[in-house]
Amino acid sequence: MKKIKLKILMSLTLLVLCLGACKDKEYAIPTASDKLQNDLIKRSLGPNIVGGTIEFAYAAAILPEKGKLSSMTVEASIAGAAGTYLDNRFFNTSSSGADVGTAVGDPSVTIGKSTSVTYTGNFSAATLRYFYKIPEEARGKSVTFTFTAKSSNGETISYQSGPHEVRNMDMALDLVAKDGTDCYISIEDMKVYNAAFATANPDKIDLVYLYRTPATVTYLHSLVAPTADPSYWPTFTMPTVLKNKTKIVKAFTVRDQQLARIQYGVFVDDVDLSSKDFADAPDFAINVKAEGGIWVQTADGRYNAYVYVNTVTNTATVKEMKISIKRLKVR
């Protein structure tokens, strides 16, 4: 008898559990806080590099009946370089997909470490974008940001972001090396030079860009060190003063997003450059292709770099290679 009672009790419990599990909670619209609120996202990805930009989107809102937004301020722990600003517009997407900006006030004012926008319109909610141009002073350091919003009813709210580490490397984008003219590449300067400059400054020249189409082998767009075997720079007269034996390692799938600015989520960071192994590396890279690249160590061992090939052109009149460089001083 006891066993039967236990069974009935267990069955009832299960039934209750089943019924309870099937019960849907009715959705209720959340009640908005009546305080001034804020939120932040960091829009830029990848290593923070001097000269580059860290981008944020800072949002603040207050119930319309409580007040209006009166200002937004961003304070960086290290003052941004020229070009740092807080956009005075928020954006909507039009039916055609374009960003349409609406100004909330005058353009931002930067005084020292602080950048502000004062609202002049009647806005209870807005998201503004902040662009921090990384200054030289921040190299190798961390930078933090304090975002602050104020409303007309006297409320203030803040959001801290960071620390964000700034890397030691440098970056140069879209240098164009031209076969026969501006074909001498300096890693130290991250520039492309002509023969006259190269001859006058041989220590600076680490790579020579050539485009050739020999009959029997594939050469096409190539990057060679001045010391490479002459068979690797056919029909070219290397200035005799050039002596740098640059170490070169070919790469193909390292499509750094900051250099390539295409869809791949790959980033070359300080640690990649400093830890790259150049033992037994040759001094030539033959048939380098677009979206490929080369790891480079200068002859004096002072710089390690990654040279990404953005595009190559070989039309009847133009033979050139567009490159972008990340470079780290290692000694």
Partner 1 sequence: MKRILLIQLILVLLVVVSCKKDYPIDDDGLLITQRADCYVSNFELLGADFQTVRTKAATIDTTAQTINVEVLFGTDLKNLYPQFTLVVDAVLDPKIVGKVDFSDLTKPKEWTVVSGNRKVRKTYKVFLTVKQ
Question: Minimum CB separation from partner 1 for residue 96, in Å?
Answer: 42
Question: Minimum CB separation from partner 1 for residue 286, in Å?
Answer: 3
Site for partner 1 contains 67 (CB under 8 A)? no
Q: Rank residues 122 and 218 by Cβ distance to partner 1 and give the closer one.
A: 218
Q: Rank residues 150 and 255 by Cβ distance to partner 1 and give the closer one.
A: 255
Question: Minimum CB separation from partner 1 for residue 184, in Å?
Answer: 20
DSSP, res 198: H
Q: Which residues of 270-303 are buried (b: 16+ CB within 10 A; e: fewer)?
A: bebbeebeeeebbbbbbebeebbbbbbbbbeeeb
Question: Minimum CB separation from partner 1 for residue 250, in Å?
Answer: 4
> How many residues are listed for the chain in this entry?
331
DSSP, res 92: E
Q: Which residue in 92, 216, 237, 240 binds partner 1 (CB under 8 A)?
A: 216
Q: Which residue in 197, 219, 236, 267 binds partner 1 (CB under 8 A)?
A: 219
Site string for partner 1, 270-289 (x = CB under 8 A): ----------xxx-xxxx--
Choose the stretch contacting partner 1; rule: CB under 8 A; options: 16-24, 189-197, 210-218, 316-324. Answer: 210-218
Q: Rank residues 62 and 223 by Cβ distance to partner 1 and give the closer one.
A: 223
> Is residue 309 within 8 Å of 323, Cβ to Cβ?
yes
Question: Minimum CB separation from partner 1 for residue 285, in Å?
Answer: 8
DSSP string over 143-161: EEEEEEEEETTS-EEEEEE
Please give the backbone phi and psi of residue 287, each rounded to the nearest 5 degrees, phi first.
Answer: 55, 60
Strands 69-76 and 207-212: unpaired
